[in-house]
Amino acid sequence: MRRHETPPAWGSLPCPRSELRLELVLCCGQAFRWRERSPGHWSGVLAGRVWTLRQAEGRLWYRLHEEEEGGGPPSRAGDVEAQRVLRDYFRLEVGLARLYRDWGAADPHFRSVAADFAGVRVLRQDPVECLFSFLCTSNNHLARITAMIERLCQAFGRRLCQLDAEPYHAFPTLQALAGADVERRLRALGFGYRARFVSRSAQAILRQFGTEGFHQLRSMPYPEARRLLCTLPGVGAKVADCVCLMALDKAEAVPVDTHVWQIARRDYGQQLGSSSRSVTSRVHSELGDFFRSLWGPYAGWAQAVLFCADLKQFRRVPSPGISTRGHRIPPAPAPSRCRLSPTLEASPGDRGTLCTEAAPATGTPTVKLHNGGSRKRPPGDGGLLAAPNPAPAHRGRCRRGATPGYASPSP
């Protein structure tokens, strides 16, 4: 499609599906604020902005939405800054092809599974958002986690704009979550005992680190960052490892819950804690060490691939080696009340190109969703056993509330 045939609005940067598959990465329980508003169009809040993402023709396409009138100062982020945010969030400087080869050479099971699951990578999330999101995951399932986080943002975060009648809010600041009345308000919003963890952890972070100091955990060695996280109210080994892996640049961190425990026992013959009904501290530590010795310094990333491949709704997803070239380009999503950012400009070369394509095609594979039961663990242990709420099978789109992930393993 020639540039002059379509209206401007979309920017893009080079990103083959072998390096990133949005339908897997945004739907496996790493992050909870992305919505598939129409097939292949993912909208969410990132770095205080509302984005729509899509993939086609070996590129990652993005569209920025401006805040509503009176909702705050206009954004001045240009195309180069938008691409920097995306490269950072998806860790695009990390080449998956080499890592997959290394993991496959060391692990025949990984090699047999990963052929159909290229493009699974770990996000680099904001540490505050990542921590408080995973504090909501204890004894929970994905639909409820997602709803809780949205209520949290609506109650304490700044409103950004509205897409298709759904409001989007920035994630709350530490100061907003540390207020004297936060616990009571969160209990009224259905957070239960988690309300106390959210409120007291926000207060503890401000007292011990401050916002900037908390982000500086990225520069600490993994064991020290993990130890400090575990001193926060409600943070156990599982939540600490999720934050280390997905927000603090600790690629060696391996979050261990019952799902990963089952993978280790079933596929690797690891019988640690076989007589126990839950993941003990010893099991968590020894399984983490086992996978680090097997996969090396990016063990957490390798675990993410197997975790994703083991989820029921992804087991029939085919290899992404099918080109989208020649597929029909569907229309753009329905108009929204958000204004498109006027600051996107063409950026030549590998930095990405501002394209006039309205809605690039993806060739998104059909996905069949399954139901699951649930089990519970004691509150506050940072582990998750609950499966999604029962829902009818649905093809073509990954439904919120029907997708287990890091936050909701399927037994």
Q: Where in the sequence numbering do the catalytic residues fall?
A: 238
> Residue 216: which residues within 8 A CB-CB, separation 6 or more?
209
Beta-ladder partners of 44: 51
Rounded-to-integer distance, Cα 409 and Cα 184, Å: 30
Phi, psi values for residue 180, rounded to 5°? -65, -30
No. of helices (H) and no. of strands (E), the chain: 15, 8
- 212: tokens are 């900037």
In this structure, the number of other CB atoms found within 10 A of the CB of residue 223 comes to 12
DSSP 62-79: EEEEPPPTTSSSPP---H
> Residue 189: which residues within 8 A CB-CB, separation 6 or more?
148, 151, 152, 155, 195
Q: What's the N-to-C CA distance of the chain in angstroms?
A: 46
